[in-house]
Structure 1
């Protein structure tokens, strides 16, 4: 630091602070509902993504960062996500790792922040960076990452610890792989740093931020990619 002007010292200190994320791991809807039936996660296969979610939970426990487990509720008696049903429960691989220190959240909207106290809990723990894992990429992961921008949280999404389903409606059809990979590219262009679980665990241990793209760079790279096809 010797020889730097005072302003340079301030800048360096600020950069060091910003390069050390204060993280929390958010498990979104890792519920039995997503392992069978019409909402069964298709890509990546749920047996693969679940293993990566467990890997993230174990890494969070080792690092001592806060964990929140979110469950979606469609209300009593609903055909899906009905409290009290087996499908509402967290997957056993997650439930057996749960501790009293975890934050429990029940939501009724796509975003984990909408009409819940999660944002307040994160601020109480001085969290500035949230890591999202769970289901689905095409619904709650997307909605949560977008709302986090307004709330002021930096978002990370783990590509192999999330998953999507096949979609078809009057607007068209997209298989689960296309849905998942397209939305991850979209998120990484603006709303989130997208990473594998292993890369995130390394960054967590090193107390470093994940790198992400931006809309301008993604647009330029997309245009260049198209000209090479």
Structure 2
């Protein structure tokens, strides 16, 4: 089977900050953890993406707790970590080169936030020709005002971001659908990734 990388985006302690707006999908972390465990068990590659903000007032500013990975998503020593300064995990990070060097052409994207870093990363992945899946119930986002000033719920923002991606840049699946498809299973050749 073709190697498939699980890309977990921005699962950092800062995502629990009380300063953030209301969010959706409170089960997202459990679904991400299920995917994380399945990929590790299968010996498939896991990429942990961490946002390092250039703004000193950000919950992701270097040198404070918010920038650290949440305890359940701490990468293992052999797993790849990408540090980014913009929403897109491909911009100025070497991620594309890292994937190509390992022959990885399939990606599964989970994390936060759906309409920001997840969407930006999945769009680039699709544009670069990677076969990309975004896991709808393993992502979440926050309420936001639209350009006309109307406050949109986190679920509305989430669903619109997924609609932007589905069929254009990626396939959008649930955790159950993805695990049923077996995308994380080790290839017949037992590739060591």
Post-superposition offset of 1:171: 2.7
- With over 3 angstroms needed to count, the CA separation of the structure-2 counterparts of 1:189 and 1:41, relative to structure 1, is farther
Alignment of 1:184 with 2:162, yes or no, is yes
Within 1, Cα distance between the matches of 2:162 and 2:107? 16
Q: Match of 1:122?
A: 99
Within 2, Cα distance between the matches of 1:108 and 1:39? 19
Match of 2:44 among 55, 59, 65: 65
Unaligned runs of 5+ in 1: 1-19, 208-229
Q: Which runs of 4+ in 1 moved over 6 A?
A: none
TM-score normalised per structure 2: 0.88
Q: Does the CA-based 8 Å contact 1:71-1:88 persist in structure 2? A: yes
Q: Does the CA-based 8 Å contact 1:157-1:193 persist in structure 2? A: yes
Within 1, Cα distance between the matches of 2:7 and 2:62? 20
Question: Where in structure 2 are the equivalents of 1:70-219 lying within 5 Å?
Answer: 70-75=49-54, 77-95=56-74, 98-168=75-145, 171-172=148-149, 173-204=151-182
- RCO greater where, 1 or 2, for CA within 8 Å and sep 6 or more? 2
TM-score normalised per structure 1: 0.75
* Superposition CA RMSD, Å: 1.8
Post-superposition offset of 1:186: 2.3
Match of 1:38 among 1, 6, 19: 19
Larger helix proportion of the pair: 1
- With over 3 angstroms needed to count, the CA separation of the structure-2 counterparts of 1:111 and 1:179, relative to structure 1, is same
Within 1, Cα distance between the matches of 2:183 and 2:14? 32
Post-superposition offset of 1:151: 1.7
| Secondary structure of 1:191 counterpart | coil
Unaligned runs of 5+ in 2: 186-193
Within 1, Cα distance between the matches of 2:122 and 2:183? 23
